[in-house]
């Protein structure tokens, strides 16, 4: 269990099914969250069904704090977010999941403690619960089908927390044991192909040969080639030349 306010507390208010508690724990641990609080779980606690569904995230359940009321569960928090799919007739800031977790991260970085409320599966949070929150989190779902499964909602918020609190690379390339080809290797590949194509009479007519060679060089320059790619293309060309020579 994390010491101090290093992450938000995930508060499940009156959860009905142990399976959903376990699935929520799994969603939390996928993104490094381990602070779960349970408010009056319907089927009591501990719950064997939750343990079975957690699938490796049992540590989250081991440290779950059980409270009888929402007020008790959020008592340590200085900032509370309430997830809800519907307008509740309350005057309160409404944040997207992304913005909510950015705000949570900013406040936690300053030493505050943040709690995120999730309502029971059947009808979500009640107005009395939401009224205790500093802001509401609204997920931009299909308005004709706005209900999210409890664990899905926890997963979504946990993902946004990860994005807000950790460096997430937008794109990476797995190099599979090779490295990017350097300019010398690309130049050697271009020269190899130009030489063989010259021998094959590819650069015709003669007056267009310079522009054809330039376009071919530009093609190699635009390719994100690895060293393995360059070696493979050298081998392809050598084999094609051997095959052509055998046919003569």
Interval 129-169: pLDDT, tens: 999 999 999 988 888 887 789 999 999 999 999 999 988 88
The boundaries of the domain holding residue 91 are: 9-165
**Nearest-5° angle of CA 171, CA 172, CA 178?**
155
pLDDT at 105 over 50: yes
Query: What whole-number distance in Å separates Cα of residue 186 and Cα of residue 220?
Result: 7
Q: Are residues 90 and 188 in the same domain?
A: no
Q: Are residues 87 and 208 in the same domain?
A: no
Locus of tokens 């130049």: 187
Interval 162-200: pLDDT, tens: 999 988 888 888 889 999 999 999 999 999 999 999 999
Residue 174 placed within a domain: no
SS3 state at 92: coil
Interval 197-239: pLDDT, tens: 999 999 999 999 999 999 999 999 999 999 999 999 999 999 9
pLDDT at 1 over 80: no
Q: What is the pLDDT of residue 183?
A: 95
Q: Are residues 193 and 130 in the same domain?
A: no
pLDDT at 2 over 60: no
Q: Are residues 53 and 118 in the same domain?
A: yes
Interval 109-118: pLDDT, tens: 999 999 999 9
Q: What is the pLDDT of residue 3?
A: 52
Residue 137 placed within a domain: yes
Rg (CA), the chain: 29
Q: Are residues 156 and 203 in the same domain?
A: no
Cβ pair 39, 77 in contact under 8 A? no
Residue 170 placed within a domain: no
Per-residue burial over 166-201, b = 16 or more CB atoms within 10 Å of its CB, e = otherwise: eeeeeeeeeeeeeeebeeebbeebbeebbeeeeeee
- How many domains are there within the chain? 2
Angle between helices 97-109 and 150-165 (to 10 degrees): 50
Residue 4 placed within a domain: no
Q: Are residues 160 and 194 in the same domain?
A: no
Query: What whole-number distance in Å separates Cα of residue 25 and Cα of residue 56?
Result: 9
Residue 205 placed within a domain: yes
Boundary-marking domain end, from 137, 165, 193: 165
Tokens of 71: 């007020």
Output the domain CATH number for residue 48: 3.40.1280.10
Interval 42-93: pLDDT, tens: 999 999 999 999 989 999 999 999 999 999 999 999 999 999 876 667 888 9
């Amino acid at each position: 269990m994390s010491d101090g306010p290093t992450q938000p507390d995930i508060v499940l208010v009156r959860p009905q099914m142990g399976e959903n508690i376990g699935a929520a724990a799994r969603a939390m641990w996928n993104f490094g969250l381990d602070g779960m609080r349970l408010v009056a779980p319907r089927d009591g606690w501990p719950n064997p069904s939750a343990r079975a569904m957690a699938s490796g995230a049992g540590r989250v359940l081991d440290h779950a704090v059980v409270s009888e009321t929402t007020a008790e569960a959020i008592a340590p928090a200085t900032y509370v977010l309430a997830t809800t799919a519907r307008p509740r007739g309350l005057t309160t800031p409404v944040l997207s999941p992304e913005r909510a977790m950015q705000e949570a991260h900013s406040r936690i970085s300053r030493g505050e403690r943040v709690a995120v409320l999730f309502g029971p599966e059947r009808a979500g949070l009640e107005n009395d619960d939401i009224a205790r929150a500093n802001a509401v989190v609204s997920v931009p779902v299909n308005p004709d089908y706005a209900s999210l499964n409890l664990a899905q909602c926890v997963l979504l918020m946990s993902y946004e927390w990860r994005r807000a609190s950790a460096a997430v690379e937008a794109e990476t390339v797995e190099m599979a044991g090779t490295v990017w080809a350097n300019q010398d290797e690309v130049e050697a590949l271009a020269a190899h192909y130009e030489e063989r194509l010259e021998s094959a009479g590819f650069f015709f007519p003669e007056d267009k040969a310079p522009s054809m060679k330039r376009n071919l060089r530009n093609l190699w320059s635009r390719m994100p080639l690895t060293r393995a790619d360059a070696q493979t293309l050298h081998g392809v060309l050598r084999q094609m030349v051997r095959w052509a020579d055998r046919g003569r």
